[in-house]
Structure 1
Amino acid sequence: MTPDLLLALSAFALVTVITPGPNNLMLMASGANFGIRPSVPHMLGIGIGFPAMVLLVGLGAMQVFDLWPPLLVILKVASVAYMLWLAWKIAHAAAPGEGRSAARPLSFLQAAAFQWVNPKAWSMALGAITLYAADRQLSAVLWVAGTYVVMSVISTTAWTAMGKGLRRMLTNPVRLRAFNWTMAALLLASLAAVLLR
C-alpha cells in the first residue's frame, strides 16, 4: 500500500469510527455510568471486534449473503432485537453506588459480537473493503483491518473519556437518568439505517 493510499485509508477509517453511531453512543454512556477502567473490556471488544469483522468481510464473509439471501433478513431482525435490548440496558442503568450490582458495562465478547449486528459497522466494513481492498488481496485486507485497530484506539478512548467527563455533571440521579434515556433514544434512532432499507 502506497503512503498516499494509506493516508487516505487512515482518514477514512478515523472519520468512520469517530462519528456518532451505536458503538460510540454506548461507549459514552458506559464512560458516564461506569468510568473508563470498567469500560476497557467494552472498548477492546470494539477495537478488536470491528477490525476482525473487516478482515472476515474482506476475505469473503459477504458471499454468504449472496448464497443465502434470507440471512440478510435474519441479520436485520437480530440487529433490531439486540439494539432494543442494549437501549433498555442503557436507559435503566443505575447510578454508581445505587446498589444495583447487575448494571455493568458490556464485556469484551458482547462488544465484539455486537459488531456483527451493528448496521453502521456493516456499512463501514463494506465501504472500507470496497474502496481500499477491492481486489481482496490478503495484504490489502490486513492493511485495512490494521488501520481500523489504530483508529479504534483513538475513537473508543475519546468517546469513553467524553462520557467520563460528563460524569461530573451527572452526579444528580435525575440528570443521569435523563442522560441514559437520551442515549437510549439516540441508539434507537440509529436503527433507522436498518429499518429504512
Structure 2
Amino acid sequence: MTDLSVLLPFLLFGLIMTATPGPNNALVLASGAQVGIRRTLPLVLGIALGVGLQLVVIGLGLGAFFLALPGLHLLVSALGLGYLLLLAWRIARSGPIRLDAEPAAPMGLLAGAAFQWINPKAWTVSISAAAAYIPVEHHAPNVILAALLLAMLSLPGVGVWALVGSALRGWLADARRARRFNLGMAVALLVSTLPPLYQLFAA
C-alpha cells in the first residue's frame, strides 16, 4: 500500500464510496436533522470504526469464507435488508423537528459500527477494496493499513452529511416540510441499497 500507484487510486475509491449516497449517509443526514451535529458525532465515529473493522475481517479471511458459503452471505444480506426496511419505516414516520423539545436518543457509536455488518454498500466496499487494492505481499499489514485509511476517509465522507442535516433543522420544524423530508430520506435509504443488492443477487 506504500506504492503510490496503488495508494492513490485506493484513497480516491475510499473517498468516493464513503461520501456518495448510501445507507450510512442517509442515516447520518436524518440524524443530523433530528438531533443536530453534536449528538450525531458518535454515529459518525461508529460508522468509521465499523467500516475499518469490517475491512480487516474480510481482508483477513471472511471474504474467502463467504465465497465458499454464498448462502450465508445471502442470509446476512437478507437480514440487513429487513433491518433497513425497519429503519426506513421509522424515518418515514418521524414527525417535524421540535426545537424546544429534547429529541429522542440517536444511534450511537456501537450501533453505527454494528450497522456495517448488515449494510449492503459497506459489504460491497470492503469486498471490493480487499479484492482490488490490497497487495498479496505483506498482506496482513496492508489490510490493517487499508482499514485505517478507509476509516479515516469515512470521517469527512460521512460527517459532511451530518452537517447538511444539522443545517436543515430549523427548516424542518414545519410539519409539511418534515413529512416530505422524512419520506424522501426513507426512500433514499431504500434506493441506496439497490445497486449492491443487485450485484449480490445477480452474482
Give the structure 2 partner of residue 171 of structure 1.
173
Letter in 2 for 1:161: L
Matches within 5 A, 1:95-114: 95-97=96-98, 103-114=104-115
Aligned to 2:151: 149
* Structure 1 Cα separation of the partners of residues 124 and 37 of structure 2: 28
Judge conservation of contact 2:11–2:149 (CA < 8 Å) in 1.
yes
1:183 maps onto 2:185 in alignment:
yes
> Cα deviations across residues 86-110 of structure 1 (Å, max 9, x unaligned)?
1112112233438997833212222
Aligned partner of 1:64 in structure 2 is 65
Corresponding position of 1:29: 30
Query: In structure 2, what residue type is equivalent to 1:169?
Result: W
**Aligned ranges 1:41-52 → 2 under 5 Å:** 41-52=42-53
CA deviation after TM superposition for structure 1 residue 52, in Å? 0.6
Asked if the contact 2:21/2:192 (under 8 Å) is kept, the reply is no
Q: TM-score, length-normalised on structure 1?
A: 0.90
| Alpha-carbon spacing, 1:172–1:102, altered in 2? closer, same or farther (3 Å) | closer
Deviation at 1:69, TM superposition (A): 3.0
Taking the aligned partners of 2:4 and 2:71, their CA distance within structure 1 comes to 41
CA contact (8 A) 1:28 1:162 kept: yes
In 2, Cα distance between equivalents of 1:81 and 1:66: 23
Identity, in percent, stands at: 35
Q: For residue 71 of structure 1, report the CA deviation from its aligned partner.
A: 0.7
Residues of 2 paired with 1:102 and 1:61: CA distance?
38
- What is residue 4 of structure 2 aligned with on the other side? 3
Return the alpha-carbon distance in structure 1 between the equivalents of residues 90 and 101 of structure 2.
Answer: 12
Q: Which residue of 2 aligns with 1:158?
A: 160
TM-score of the two chains, using structure 2 as the length reference: 0.88
* Distance in 2, Cα, partners of 1:69 & 1:50: 21
Aligned residues between the structures: 197
